Amino acid sequence: MNLNLQGQTAVVTGGSRGIGYAVCEALADEGCNIAILYASNTEKAEAAAAAFAEKGVKAKAYLCHVENEEDAANTVKAVKEEFGRIDILVNNAGITRDKLVNGMKEADFCDVIDVNLKGAFHMIKNIYPLMAKQRAGRIINVSSISGLMGNAGQVNYSASKAGLIGMTKSVAKELAPRGITCNAIAPGFVSTDMTEKFAEDESVLSAIPLRRMGKPEEVGALAAYLCSPGAAFITGEVIRIDGGMAM
């Protein structure tokens, strides 16, 4: 594919593993430089950056807890100094703390909202001024079909992912005059560490019309398309990638 992303710089939160890794890989394959943000596993993040650098792009890993306002601001500053510009932001970092509502502690609720929703706000707030100056930018928020359909045991997670959809539409309206698009991707079950326990679960597979889990690289390909010139007229959209599960 030639999506014309040579020389651009992408910030991908949670880019060291799973879907985020695949998004970075798809962007690096198109010549995009990559700043990976991660929360705990330095070895994995450094290995990911080394793998992307082998494709001939610049890639660097940054330890950054996106839910922490100061951490997010300092990291964006460091990325800008290192890469010179930021063209693409993919808010992909996400966590789960699944419990039925009567057993869900306030901390389980707040931790998930903080990382999944507030983290995206911090990143957008710090990065959009750079994009606005360039009169161009692409923001992608990784939501979930849980944010569209709800899911028992995920009151916190589905609230965060539905919140991301509202945030996506508001940001799209606010930043369109600056040449910035903002879209959400809503994956269904995708094979990563997060969903390992469902891989052989017949009740999950039978709820997916295509009868399989998605592959991270399928989400990566969609994200790369949304960053390409061909997707310039798409904004405020929520694209399901779920094997038909939420239709």
DSSP-based three-state secondary structure for 159: helix
Q: Which of residues 49-108 bind ligand NAP (CB under 6 A)?
A: 64-67, 92-95
**Helix, strand, or coil (residue 58):** coil
CB of 174 to ligand NAP, least distance (A): 22
CB closer to ligand NAP, 148 vs 175: 148
| Phi and psi angles of residue 21, each rounded to the nearest 5 degrees, phi first | -60, -45
Q: Which residue has the tokens 């306002």?
A: 69
- CA–CA separation, 173 and 235 (whole Å): 8
Choice among 21, 62, 157, 225 that is catalytic: 157
What minimum distance in Å lies between the beta carbon of 109 and ligand NAP? Answer: 15
Would residue 157 show up in a list of annotated catalytic residues for this protein? yes
Residue 13's DSSP bridge partners are 37
Closest CA to 61 of 76, 47, 71: 47
Q: Which of residues 21-40 bind ligand NAP (CB under 6 A)?
A: 37-40
Asked whether 159 and 212 are in contact (CB, 8 A), the reply is no
Among 19, 34, 139, 155, binds ligand NAP (CB under 6 A): 19
Under the criterion CB under 6 A, does residue 156 sit at the interface with ligand NAP? no
Write out the catalytic residue numbers. Answer: 157
In the complex, the residues that contact ligand NAP under the rule CB under 6 A are 13-14, 16-20, 37-41, 44-45, 64-67, 92-95, 115, 119, 142, 144, 187, 189-190, 192-195
